[in-house]
Homo-oligomer: A and B are copies of this chain.
Amino acid sequence: MSSLLALEDTFLAGLNNVERRKYVQKIKIVKHLYVKGAKTNADICGRFQISAPTSTAMLNELIAEGLVEKQGRGKSIGGRKPELYGLKDKSLFVLSIHMEKYKARLAIFDNNNSPVTGMQTFPIEVTQDLQAVDQVHEQAMRLIEVSGIDPQKLIGVGINMPGLVASKEGNNHTYLRVPGGAESLQQLLEHKFGKPVYIQNDVKSATLAEYRFGLAHGRRDVLVLSMDWGVGLGMILDGKLRSGASGFAGEFGHIPLVEDGRLCHCGKRGCLETVASGSALVRNAQEGIRAGENTLLQALSEPEIEQLEVEQVIRAAHDGDQFAINILAEVGLNLGKGIAILIQLFNPELIILGGEIAQAKPFVLPAIQQAITIYCMKQLRENTRIVVSELGRDAMILGSVATVMENVFETPLDLT
């Protein structure tokens, strides 16, 4: 077996204890190098509690397999300079797909998270049925072909999608429903692609990206909020992305926040999303415009009002529009009340705000902070920082790369 990542169920079963342990150890080393970058032999010895000769032997095997290479020498700390071992560029590839309701983006990345193709964007419509899946698959196969990469080196496909995604089960419970009794959406995709496929909820995926490449890096308890049309939540708790029993954890947008509130599209009343989301912001703006509020947005025609976008309201605020600033602050206050609940329950060290709302930082952040001061206990509030994502839009597409890496390098043994 020349490749480390055989990933076939039959492969592991055919190994004895020694071979399996070595395989697991090598995967752990590769994941370590992926997550932490190039490292010295000594570092690997220390981290995995193995001796230098064994560690060297395994690294040499990984070099022979073409996954690892020596990348110069590290800094001396008072002795001979150590050899640095790192993942070889372009030795593995991941196909990353991000599906939104009305468009999809895809790109291929290598094992050092560098894009090897440009980003492709095309329109789709994510509905209950599987039509969008076929479109995406077709485009993806074309991208793989055009990219010129060795298909053998493509180790997996990561797909973000909206809705209630049960990653482990491999199904989306909101959209893209597979016919009952048959294989899961994940299995269906794996057959189509002939590769391991991992599906994940969009916000959870972005959360993983923040953890690996963004402001959450190196932290152990972080919440990531994504506010666009709706509001989503992803959570890193004790250094891992947590998804709850069925994979649906983080349905923050639909917690009850307002007593006898407005009807939410989910069918319930007074959900957080009815007062703290892009759709709530736009609704408030539309109502204000129609009620004759003094605002720059009055310049819009009735059909333009109907088609109003979150971005336009934020732009108006940046242009000094007091009405837009007010409704953004109101959304911030409501969101802040929700965030206060999160802080009380999760005690995170950091909360990262992402999505469209990031553009409105100067208008919503003070309101959020104010709400937190009102609704949070001092000891909890003081230990939580709130920041705006630095990854921005990239979080999503990088997230599905991270999702693949996370799962591909997952060791088959988990003892608790």
Known: A252-B344, A340-B256, A341-B256. A245 touches B221 (CB 8 A): yes
Q: Are B347 and A244 in contact (CB under 8 A)?
A: yes
B-contact 0/1 string along A328-365, CB 8 Å cutoff: 00000000010011101111110000000000000000
Is A75 at the interface (CB under 8 A from chain B)?
no
Residue of B nearest to A248 (CB): B347
Of the four ranges (under 10, 10 to 19, 20 to 34, 35 or more), the interface on chain A belongs to 35 or more
Could you list which residues of chain A lie within 8 angstroms of chain B, going by C-beta atoms?
17, 20-21, 28, 47-51, 164, 173, 220-221, 233, 237-240, 242-252, 254-256, 258-259, 266, 268, 337, 340-342, 344-349, 374-375, 377, 379-380, 383-384, 413, 415-416
Q: Which residues of B have CB within 8 Å of A17?
A: 49-51
Q: Are B377 and A244 in contact (CB under 8 A)?
A: no
**Given A246-B383, A251-B345; 15 other pairs, CB 8 A cutoff:** A17-B50, A233-B345, A237-B242, A238-B240, A244-B348, A245-B347, A245-B348, A245-B383, A245-B384, A246-B347, A246-B380, A250-B345, A252-B344, A256-B337, A256-B375
Task: List the 5 closest A-B pairs by CB distance, nearest first.
Answer: A244-B347, A245-B349, A249-B347, A221-B245, A251-B344
Q: Are A374 and B268 in contact (CB under 8 A)?
A: yes
Known: A255-B344, A340-B255, A344-B255. A416 touches B248 (CB 8 A): no
Which of A173, A237, A349 neighbours the largest number of chain B CB atoms within 10 Å of its CB? A237
Residue of B nearest to A371 (CB): B256
Q: Which residues of B have CB within 8 Å of A246?
A: 347, 349, 379-380, 383
Which of A221, A345, A380, A383 neighbours the largest number of chain B CB atoms within 10 Å of its CB? A345
Q: Which residues of B have CB within 8 Å of A348?
A: 244-245
Q: Are A347 and B239 in contact (CB under 8 A)?
A: no
Least CB distance, A22 to chain B, in whole angstroms: 11
Known: A164-B379, A268-B375. A415 touches B248 (CB 8 A): no
